[in-house]
Amino acid sequence: MEENKSVKGAHDNNEGGLKKTMYALIAVAAVLAVALAFVWFERSSLVNELNLEKEDLTAQMIALQNDYATLSSDYDSINTQLDSSREEVSQLIERIKKTDATNRAKIRQYEKELGTLRSIMRNYIVQIDSLNTLNKKLTADAAAARKEAAESRRQSEELSKTVQDLSGQVAVGSVVKGRDIRLDAYNASNKVTDRSSRVVRLMTTLSLVENDLAPKGPMRVYIRVKGPDGILLTSGEQKTFELDGEQLICSASREVDYQGEEVEMSIYLNGISDYVKGIYTVDVYTEKALLGSAELMLR
């Protein structure tokens, strides 16, 4: 009887130990479950946080890509560099999308590359602004230079025109003029006559007007005498002179020494065999101009 009691007590003791052990294991399992739940929660929170960081980084890269797309330049060398940087941004966006958010080393590397590309873009902006400012200045300077050159040309043209006008005025003013032009007929007794049958020679008289602007020195004066029929009278040998590029035949000529003062002169026409009734005309020339004309009536 006592032996059975002893066995029963040992059995009860074993059961009590097992229960304690089981309770202890349950408690440990509960603690572990709580710990695992906490770790899982923490890891989920970290993963979510990393995914948000990746999304933010991706958004920043896309914004930078848009900034690069709106950036333009008028300079081929800068445009080439911009195209290269745009390609780098596109490739970096693709690498970020393919990289797991938990790969923090890669994400940090991409963040640094983002900063570098931003810095490069700021340098582009500064460089483009500087070149545009310089280009505007050069454009303004070129416009001012063109305006100044145009003004210089205008002044030069005006000066040239003034010189030409003055030269023309001097040229016109330097032409010797004649006055008191007369045509008279003389007989064999060297007396003036108006009877055609008695005329042996014609004489043209005139005065060369005073002109300080005219060239000084020998000057030849030419006469062209025409009969009533309009035919030019010449005394055998024909002599010519040039006026305004045209060769003209003269009836007679005479050279005088012109020194800018008034000169009275006469030119004879001899060697005409026959004179008829009618009006005779004489035109008097120098090699620069027509001095004037006169008429004579023979009866």
The count of structural domains within the chain is 2
The residues, ordered by sequence, that sit 6+ positions from 75 with a Cβ below 8 Å of its Cβ are 128, 131
Domain that holds residue 281: 178-298
Among 173, 204, 238, the domain-final residue is: 173
pLDDT in tens, the chain (299 residues): 555 555 555 556 666 677 778 878 887 787 787 767 665 666 656 567 778 888 888 898 899 888 888 887 787 888 888 888 888 888 888 888 888 878 888 888 988 888 888 888 888 888 888 888 888 888 888 888 888 888 888 887 887 776 666 555 455 667 899 999 999 999 999 999 999 999 999 999 999 999 988 899 999 999 999 999 999 999 877 789 999 889 999 999 999 999 999 999 999 999 898 999 999 999 999 998 999 999 999 99
Same domain, 127 and 224: no
Asked if 91 and 197 sit in the same domain, the reply is no
Question: Do 222 and 207 lie in a common domain?
Answer: yes
Q: Distance (Å, rounded) from C-alpha 179 to C-alpha 293?
A: 9
CATH number, position 264: 2.60.40.10
Residues 151 and 4 in one domain: yes
Residue 94 CA to residue 19 CA, distance in Å, equals 60
How many Cβ atoms from other residues are within 10 Å of residue 284's Cβ?
24
Same domain, yes or no: 110 and 203: no
Task: With beta carbons less than 8 A apart as the criterion, state whether 283 and 293 touch.
Answer: yes
**Would you state the torsion angle of the CA atoms of residues 20, 26, 31, 32, taken in this order, to the nearest 10 degrees?**
130
> How far apart (Å, rounded) are the C-alpha atoms in residues 135 and 147?
18
Tokens of residue 29, six digits? 């399992």
